[in-house]
Structure 1
Amino acid sequence: MHAWEIMSKPVVRVNLSTLVREASALLIRHGVAALPVVNADNQVVGIFTEADALRCGEHLEDVVEAFMTSPVKVVPMDTDVDQIARHMLTDRLRSVPVVKDGVLVGIVSRRDLLRPFVRQDDAIEAQLRSVLADYAGDRDRWHVHVTDGVAVVSGEFEDEAERRVIALLAKCVPGVVCTELRSQAPA
C-alpha cells in the first residue's frame, strides 16, 4: 500500500504569512495535529504543529513562519506505508505531508495509517456503543453488532418509546444503513 492510497485530501494548509491565531484555530476546527506550510507555488516549506502553537504562547498575532518546524520531511505519493510508519515512529511525527512533483497533494496521519486495519463496521459499532452508553448513563444495557452497515441492538428496552429512541440514535451514527432491535429478557 502507498501514500496515495491512504492520504487525507484536500489538505488544510497555511502559508508563511498566516497568523498564529488563525493557524491555531484551524488545528482545532479541523481536528488535525499539524498544518503544512506552503509557499506561493504550493510547495511545503514547513509544518505548523500543535506543539508549535503551544510554543507561541501569547504571540498570536505573529506569523506561522516564525514558529513553524522547518525543514519538514515530505514523502512522494508512491512511498510505501510501512516506510512512512517507520519514519513517523522513529521521529515521533503525527503526520507527514505528501507531495507530487514537489507540490502538496495530501497528508498522512497516524489515523490514516490505522484506517486500513479497522473495518468500517468496527468503527460504526464503536461509535454506536459510545452513543448508547451516553444515553444509558454508561450502563451496559445493550449488545451492539454491525455488519455491512446494519446495526443490530439487542437487550432490554423499557418500552416502545425507548425502542424508538434507540432506533433514532442508531440512525444518527454515520454509516448505519438500517437498524434491527432485538429484545432479550433479563438473565
Structure 2
Amino acid sequence: MRARDILSRPVVTVRRDTALTDAVALLTGHGFAALPVVDERERVVGILSESDAMAAIESGREAGIVEVAMSTPVSVVEPTTEVPEMVKVMLDHHRRSVPVVEAGVLVGIVARRDLLRALARDEQALEARVYSLLEDYSGSHRQWDVEVVDSNVTIRGICADEAEQRVLAAITRTIPGVGEVRVVDTAAIPSDQ
C-alpha cells in the first residue's frame, strides 16, 4: 500500500505569514496533529505541529506569525512511498503526520491514524481473502487457521499430504499483497510440542 492509497485531501494549510493564533484555532478546531506551511506555489516550506504551537505560546510568541514557530526542514513523502517507509519517516522524525508531495507540490497528508487503519485493514483484508480461497478450495469446510503478520501468511491445519501443502501455498500466493507463505501441517507436529 502506498501514500496515494491512504492520503487525506484536500489538506488544510497555512502560510508563513498566517497569524499564529489563527493557525492554533485551525489545529484545535479540527483536531489536526500538524498543518503544512506552504508558499504561493503550494510547495511545503515548513510544518506547524501541536508541539510547535505549544512551545510558541509557552514562550510568549503567540502574537507572532506561523514562520516564528514552524519546524523546518520538513520530511515529506511521495504518492508512491510505501507504508513501511512512511512509518519510518514518522518515527524517525517524531511526527504524527507527513505531507505528501508530487513534483514538489503538496497533494495530500498522511497521519499516523491513517497508517494504523491501513495496516489493520490490510492484514484483515488479506486474512479474509485467504480464508475465502481456502474455503473455495475445501468446499466450505474450514479446516485451517490463517494468521497474517506484515503481509506474511501462515496457514495451520491438517493437510492430506505435502502436495496439498504446496497447493495451499500456491493459491495463497495468487493474492496481491501476500508476502511469504508458510503452511504448517498440525497433524505432523508431535503432541508433546
Please give the range of the TM-score, normalised by the shorter of the 2 chains.
0.5 to 0.7
Alpha-carbon shift at residue 91 of structure 1 (Å):
2.2
Amino acid at match of 1:60: E
Amino acid at match of 1:48: L
Q: Distance in 2 between matches of 1:72 and 1:114?
A: 22
Question: Residues 9-34 of structure 1, C-alpha deviation per residue, up to 9 Å, x if partnerless?
Answer: 11111001001100001001111110
| SS of residue matched to 1:15 | coil
Amino acid at match of 1:74: V
Aligned length: 120
Equivalent residue number for residue 17 of structure 1? 17
Equivalent residue number for residue 151 of structure 1? none
Equivalent residue number for residue 159 of structure 1? none
| SS of residue matched to 1:75 | coil
Retained in 1: the 8 A contact 2:75–2:89?
Answer: no
Equivalent residue number for residue 33 of structure 1? 33
- How do 1:104-119 and structure 2 match up within 5 A? 104-118=106-120
Structure 1's unaligned 5+ residue stretches are 120-187
Equivalent residue number for residue 81 of structure 2? 79
Q: TM-score w.r.t. structure 2 length? A: 0.59
Taking only the aligned residue pairs, the percentage that are identical comes to 50
Confirm whether residue 62 of structure 1 aligns to residue 64 of structure 2. yes
Alpha-carbon shift at residue 103 of structure 1 (Å):
0.5
Equivalent residue number for residue 43 of structure 1? 43
Q: TM-score w.r.t. structure 1 length? A: 0.61
Amino acid at match of 1:8: S
| SS of residue matched to 1:112 | helix
Q: Distance in 2 between matches of 1:40 and 1:99?
A: 15
| SS of residue matched to 1:96 | strand
Question: Residues 145-165 of structure 1, C-alpha deviation per residue, up to 9 Å, x if partnerless?
Answer: xxxxxxxxxxxxxxxxxxxxx
Equivalent residue number for residue 133 of structure 1? none
Q: Distance in 1 between matches of 2:98 and 2:63?
A: 26
Equivalent residue number for residue 5 of structure 1? 5
User: Cα RMSD between the aligned structures?
Assistant: 1.5
Q: Residue 89 of structure 1 is aligned with which of 88, 91, 97?
A: 91
Alpha-carbon shift at residue 117 of structure 1 (Å):
3.8
Question: Residues 50-77 of structure 1, C-alpha deviation per residue, up to 9 Å, x if partnerless?
Answer: 0110111232221101110011011111
- How do 1:117-132 and structure 2 match up within 5 A? 117-118=119-120
Structure 2's unaligned 5+ residue stretches are 122-193
